[in-house]
Structure 1
Amino acid sequence: YTELGSIRIQFVAKVSGELIKQLLDDLLDDGILNDGEKDSILESNNSRADRARCLIDTVKRKGREASKKMIAHLQERDPTLFTELGLPPPV
């Protein structure tokens, strides 16, 4: 899904640790991630940037629908970052 790929570097640079956790919770609720994947992203990556990379790469691998959901959650949780990243609103 190209949108996530195109914003990866900026997302990694700008996303907060708290927002990463919120997005993980949202994606867990959606059934896109399971508990193991969520825990792995948090525990296997020591830095905020590594967690952000792992999150975006994991969601990208899950396909278009998963990517659209993550973008929708990002827009809801942090409209400012969403706008800075120049993402189109999810359809």
Structure 2
Amino acid sequence: MAGNPDRLRAGFVEGISPGVLNQLMDDLLAVGVLNQGEKDHILEEHTIRADRARDLFDTVRKKGYTSIDIMMERLQTRDPALYNHLMPQ
């Protein structure tokens, strides 16, 4: 994983749109990074987009760098502009 996880988290929380956030959670559920309970918790616990983004990022970060890499690959597909902002070449 490239970059500082704390800087990455801040940019992720600030930049992700509600639609992309939901799509990303669906993607991560489909590949097994998240389970249904984790996804449900994020959606039920938080109504504010930034809080959901923080919880998602923190949940994925606890699972290790491979999980973060998978999340960022999915983000690259869903929101290339945000990905490029977070992961400059």
1:21 is the counterpart of 2:22: yes
Q: Which residue type is aligned with residue 82 of structure 1? A: Y
Q: After superposition, where does 1:2-41 map in structure 2 within 5 Å?
A: 3-41=4-42
Note the aligned Cα RMSD (angstroms): 1.6
Identity %: 47
Gaps of 5+ in 2: none
Partner residue in 1 for 2:56: 55
Q: Which residue of 2 aligns with 1:76?
A: 77
Gaps of at least 5 residues in structure 1 are none
Q: Which digits, 9 at most, give the CA deviation of each residue in 1:49-91, with x for residues without a partner? A: 0000000000000111111100100011110111112x168xx
The 3-state SS of whatever aligns with 2:46 is coil
Does the CA-based 8 Å contact 1:23-1:74 persist in structure 2?
yes
What is the DSSP-based 3-state SS (H/G/I as helix, E as strand, rest coil) of the residue aligned with 2:39? Answer: helix
Runs of 4+ in 1 over 6 A off after TM superposition: none
1:1-52 deviation digits (Å, cap 9, x = unpaired): 6544321112111111111111100100111111000010111011000000
Is residue 41–residue 54 contact of structure 1 (8 Å, CA) maintained in 2? yes
